[in-house]
Chains A and B, each alone.
Chain A
Amino acid sequence: MKHPTRIRWAVIAVALVGFALLVSAEGMWRDLLGALFPDYRTVVHPRGTLVDFTLEHLALVGVSSALTIAVGVPLGIWVTRRSGREFRPLVSAGVDLGQTFPPVAVLALAMPVLGFGFWPTIVALFLYGLFPVVSGTIAGIESVPPAVTEAAVGMGMSRWQVLARVELPLAARVIMAGVRTSVAINIGTATVGAAIGTGGLGVPIIGGLAVQNMAYVLQGAIPAALLAVLADALLAQAEEGLGVATG
């Protein structure tokens, strides 16, 4: 049980280092894209290095996902409590709407209030990523067998103890699956932020589309795709770790 887990973590660590080396290899991108598109005058986006774009992207995803989790998990827990149960349909409908609403539209609506840049994108990503986290939390807690919570209460656990020692550990895997989906969505969606000058890997993609430079598009799209795959693998592994006992 322990060995394969450790090996998988090692593989992920190697992949992360590989990714870091890849995005910092400026010369390689220039040569590669130059060979692919010999007719273009420039093949890498002039606004910054790929490392800058990647770090901006990670900041967007990191902040928005952190907000999503910080709000989504408690919200999901609250509507499964007695005090919040009646708000559950409202919350479900709300987060559902958040995901149905296109992020670009959120950007457009948020811009007049929050201006250009970082925060409107964060708001859009936050709203967009909330749904999987909230519904994952609700599903996870509801998957706990009623007999188990009844036993916990009957044995003298307080409500907090039932939540912290029984419900959350048992729901952790399903909640983590929701987080994983949310982060994956965010990594992809964060590219639209470039449209309002937020930076990130969307800059070469949107810039490339605007000037019809496919080299730019690839320069942003390849790292973004790899980042999504890596983050997913990382979180899948974390999810696995949470499930060791119950799996």
Chain B
Amino acid sequence: MIRLENVTKRFSEKTAVDGLTLEVPEGEVCVLIGPSGCGKTTTLRMVNRLIEPTSGRILVNGRDVMSMRPEELRRGLGYVIQSIGLFPHLTVAENIGVVPRLLGWEKPRIADRARELLSLVGLEPDSYLRAYPRQLSGGEAQRVGVARALAADPPVLLMDEPFGAVDPLNRERLQAEFGRIQRELHKTVVFVTHDIDEAIRLADRVAIMRDGRLQQYDTPENVLNRPANKFVHDFVGADRALKRLVRIKVTEVMRPAPQAAIDDAPEAMRERAGAGRFVYLTDDEGRLAGWLDTDDIRDDAVADAITTVDRLQATVARDASLRDALSRMLGLGFRSIAVTDDEGRIMGEVTFAAIEAVMSEAEEHRGPTADGEGA
């Protein structure tokens, strides 16, 4: 747990952080966000004492950070920065082993840990352990950066725009992986970003800052639905309903989907459709192979009404958000899309109508201060 009590930081004339009080409960992701110069990075860097507060107290797991030796404090706080800062003269394995070495771990334990962490961040240990940072792509380097921060299993992670320098496609992938890792490890995370979409996607709580002051500290849903003031409302942007979709997993609005095996008899397929129009057809492993559109059946020629598809294109994974599903559906021109489990088997489907319902619900929740603002 991290607690900031009335923390202020003044640099000569400028007050970077002004009387900030904030509590990050254990195992939660707190995203600090705001325009540049709002004090979010200064706040983060005060937690590991790279910057020392002018006044106020910062407690990490109940201990005042100012009462600890900075080195000792920092070894217990994983730290990831935008520019990564991998040590170019050390291999990936040695980079990951830096903090364990500082803590005096035995060599075999450090080596095992490096393997374990590379697997965790989705890099094949055998191909990466002995690589040097210059041989890595930006996305790979950032994965190693995250692995390095996790090396000594610190309860707290401090992340300063960790995905800010990677391309948008890789950023989304890294965000998804970070989400997966966090669900597994339950670290207490302070995460700085200027990307509101990233904040909404990853945060348990969002702290919106402006001129060193906290504007709102709340769940992403509440920040979207009940912005505390005009600044937050404007900062979040006009497409709040769309952003809200990022927070909802497809599995939450998924409904069962009629399925049949692609080598079933035509009549059996048709029967499965029941009153509905479509039946998903699966291969022998339960994965999407195509679908049957019962409206297209002419003169009982069922085979002509079957469309086969590329299952990776025409499905979304179970951990996808409604926004992912919506953009996929819009791209393909579908009114519904199949949701698959980790093995690629069909779990159900998400319909356009279901997404619409969620969006209109969000509109109804618009806070009073936001009324009359709008796009």
B84 interface contact, C-beta 8 A: yes
Q: Name the residue of chain B whose CB is nearest to the CB of A148.
A: B85
Mask for B93-109, Cβ within 8 A of A = 1, else 0? 00000110010000000
- Is there contact, CB below 8 Å, between B132 and A153? no
Which of B68-76, B178-186, B365-373 lies at the interface with chain A? B68-76
Residues of A within 8 A of B85 (CB): 145, 147-152
Report the minimum CB–CB distance from A145 to chain B (whole Å): 7
Mask for B197-236, Cβ within 8 A of A = 1, else 0? 0000000000000000000000000000000000000000
Residues of B within 8 A of A154 (CB): 48, 50, 74, 79, 81, 158
- B-side interface residues, number (CB < 8 Å): 26
Given known contacts A147-B83, A154-B48, A245-B132, A169 and B89 CB-to-CB distance under 8 angstroms? yes
**Taking each of B70, B81, B83, B87, which has the highest tally of chain A beta carbons within 10 Å of its own beta carbon?**
B87
Report the minimum CB–CB distance from A6 to chain B (whole Å): 21
A212 interface contact, C-beta 8 A: no
- Is there contact, CB below 8 Å, between B89 and A170? yes
- Is there contact, CB below 8 Å, between B79 and A151? yes
What is the CA–CA distance of A189 and B72 in the complex, to the nearest angstrom? 50
Q: Name the residue of chain A whose CB is nearest to the CB of B149.
A: A155
A12 interface contact, C-beta 8 A: no
Contact among A147, A148, A155 for B99, CB-based, below 8 A: A155
Mask for A216-247, Cβ within 8 A of B = 1, else 0? 00000000000000000000000000000110
Report the minimum CB–CB distance from B176 to chain A (whole Å): 24
- Is there contact, CB below 8 Å, between B84 and A156? no
Jot down 10 A-B pairs with beta carbons below 8 A, ordered by A.
A147-B81, A151-B81, A153-B50, A155-B148, A156-B72, A156-B73, A166-B87, A170-B89, A245-B89, A246-B88
Cβ-closest 4 pairs across A and B: A151-B85, A156-B75, A147-B83, A156-B74
Known contacts A155-B99, A156-B74; can you find 16 more A-B pairs with CB under 8 A? Answer: A147-B81, A148-B85, A150-B50, A151-B84, A153-B50, A154-B50, A154-B81, A155-B79, A155-B98, A155-B148, A156-B70, A156-B72, A156-B99, A157-B98, A157-B102, A170-B89
